Structure 1
C-alpha cells in the first residue's frame, strides 16, 4: 500500500519534497558513493528550483557533485525550447547547484523518436553497469488529470511494455506529440518513487487511483515498485476528494 501525505499548501509540500530529496541524497552518497535521481517535468521544475537549493544547503552530505540525474521522459524538441524538460531543469535548477554539479543524462538532440529512445536506454544501461534493469535511488513523478505519468497515457500500448526500458511516443495526446519515456519496468525497479500532485484539477483522478482502483488501471495506478517504496505527496486541493488527514511540514 502506498503512503499518502497531504499538506495544507503547495509551499509546505515543496519544502517537504526538497527535504526528502536531500535526505535521500545524503543517505545514498554515504552508503554507495553516489545518488541516482530521475526527474519528471511540468510543475515539478519550478517547485524544485525554488525549494531544493536551500534544502541542500542544510544537508552538506547530499553533495550534488556525486549525483547522477536523468529525466523520466522528454519531449523531442530542441533543448532551448520551453517544452524541453532537460532544458528547463538546466536553466532553473541545475544552474543553481554548486559546480561541478551532477552528471546529467538526457535524450540526444536531433534524433528521431525510435533512435532517441534506443540511445537514451543505452546511456542508462551504461550508467548502471551489471544491472538488468537500472535501479534509481529516487524517481520524482507527477500525475495528470487523466491519470498519466511520465509520457505513459491511458489506453496506450506502452502500458503493456515489458522488455524495453525506454520507448518512443509518436502520438501523445498532449503536445508535442513526439516524446521519449521510461516504461513501467524501469519505473517500478526504483528504490523509491515519490509522486507529486497539486491543484484541484487532480482531485477526481486521485480518488480513482488511490481509493477506487477502477479497471483498467490508469497509468499512475500502475506504479507499484517491486521492492522499493512508493509515496504520494499531495496538497489540500489535490486531496479534496480523499479521506486523509493533513500533515504539517516541520
Structure 2
C-alpha cells in the first residue's frame, strides 16, 4: 500500500511499496488531471521528459485508461529533448512514441516534437515559437503572475546528480529567466546538445510531478527534498518550486530510503 499524500514543505510525497503500485497511482493522477483540464479548459497540455518516465506511464496504455481518457484533447510537449534525429535511440520523442503515443489514440498534430534538422539554438527558438502560438490560441494557458506558459502538467524525472529536464548542476541555463526554452551544447551526459524548458516555465505549471525510482537516486532525492548540499548550493531539483501550482513526488521505497522522516520509511 502506498503512503500517499504525506505533506512536506517540498510538496506532496507519495511513496510506494511496489513498482506496479507506483505506476497505477501515476496513471490515476494523470488521468484525473486530464479529466479536470478538459472539463475546465477543453484541452490537456502535458510536457514529458525522457529516461525511465515513459515506461512508468505505461499503465495509461491499458484498460481502463486507454478507453476512459479523452485522448483527443491531449497536447503533448517535451520539457527537454536531445537534439538528435527523431528516430535516434537517444530521442525522447522516439521513446515516448514507441512506449506510449503509438498505443493510444492521440491526434498526431497535437504532438509537438522539436525540429530535428536545425542547430540546438534554432531548435530551442523554434520550440518556444510553437508554444507561444499555442498560448495565443489558449491551447496552453498563461500564468497569472508572469508571461510564462502554464502547462496543465509537467512530468519530470530526477538524475543522480540532481538534474531535472536538461537543467544540470551549476550550469548557466539554471539562471535563464527571459527565455521559455533554452539550449545547451555541453551536457555532462551524452548527447551534448539539448533543448530544455527553463525554471520559470517549470515553476509556472499548474502541476509538476517528479517521478523517482531506485536506490541510485536516494542521495539526490534527499538533497532535493530535505536539505541543501554541504557547500550550501541547491541542486536543480530543489529549485522546482511551483509558484501557484502543485508539486507531487512519486517515489518508490528505494528512492525514498534516505529521507529522514521515519514515518515515511516505516
Verify same fold: TM over 0.5: yes
TM-score after normalising by structure 2: 0.88
| 8 Å Cα contact 2:74/2:106 also seen in 1 | no
2:96 is the counterpart of 1:89: yes
| 8 Å Cα contact 1:5/1:246 also seen in 2 | no
Take 1:88 and 1:45, find their aligned partners in 2: how far apart are those partners?
A: 7
Residue 37 of structure 1: aligned partner: 46
Q: Secondary structure at the match of 1:128?
A: helix
Change (3 A) 1:213 1:118: same
Aligned-residue Cα RMSD (Å) equals: 1.7
Residue 252 of structure 2: aligned partner: 235
1:7-18 matches, cutoff 5 A: 7-18=16-27
| 8 Å Cα contact 2:60/2:66 also seen in 1 | no
Query: Which segment drifts farther, 201-210 or 171-180?
Result: 201-210
Take 1:77 and 1:64, find their aligned partners in 2: how far apart are those partners?
A: 27
The count of residues paired between Structure 1 and Structure 2 equals: 245
2:94 is the counterpart of 1:79: no
Gap regions ≥5 residues in structure 2: 1-8
TM-score after normalising by structure 1: 0.93
Residue 65 of structure 1: aligned partner: 72
1:1-250 matches, cutoff 5 A: 1=9, 2-48=11-57, 50-54=58-62, 57=65, 60=68, 62-98=69-105, 100=107, 103-129=110-136, 131=142, 132-214=147-229, 215-242=232-259, 243=261, 245=263
Take 1:16 and 1:55, find their aligned partners in 2: how far apart are those partners?
A: 14
Instruction: Quote the offset at 1:96 in angstroms.
Output: 0.7
Change (3 A) 1:167 1:114: same
Instruction: Quote the offset at 1:100 in angstroms.
Output: 3.6
Higher relative contact order (CA 8 A, sep 6+): 1
Instruction: Quote the offset at 1:33 in angstroms.
Output: 0.6
| 8 Å Cα contact 2:153/2:208 also seen in 1 | yes
Query: Which segment drifts farther, 209-218 or 221-230?
Result: 209-218
Query: Which segment drifts farther, 96-105 or 122-131?
Result: 96-105
Gap regions ≥5 residues in structure 1: none
Instruction: Quote the offset at 1:31 in angstroms.
Output: 1.2
| 8 Å Cα contact 2:66/2:104 also seen in 1 | no
| 8 Å Cα contact 1:18/1:55 also seen in 2 | no
Q: Secondary structure at the match of 2:46?
A: strand
Change (3 A) 1:246 1:105: same
Change (3 A) 1:233 1:102: farther
Q: Deviations over 1:160-198 (max 9, x none)?
A: 111011011100000000000000011000000000000
| 8 Å Cα contact 1:190/1:225 also seen in 2 | yes
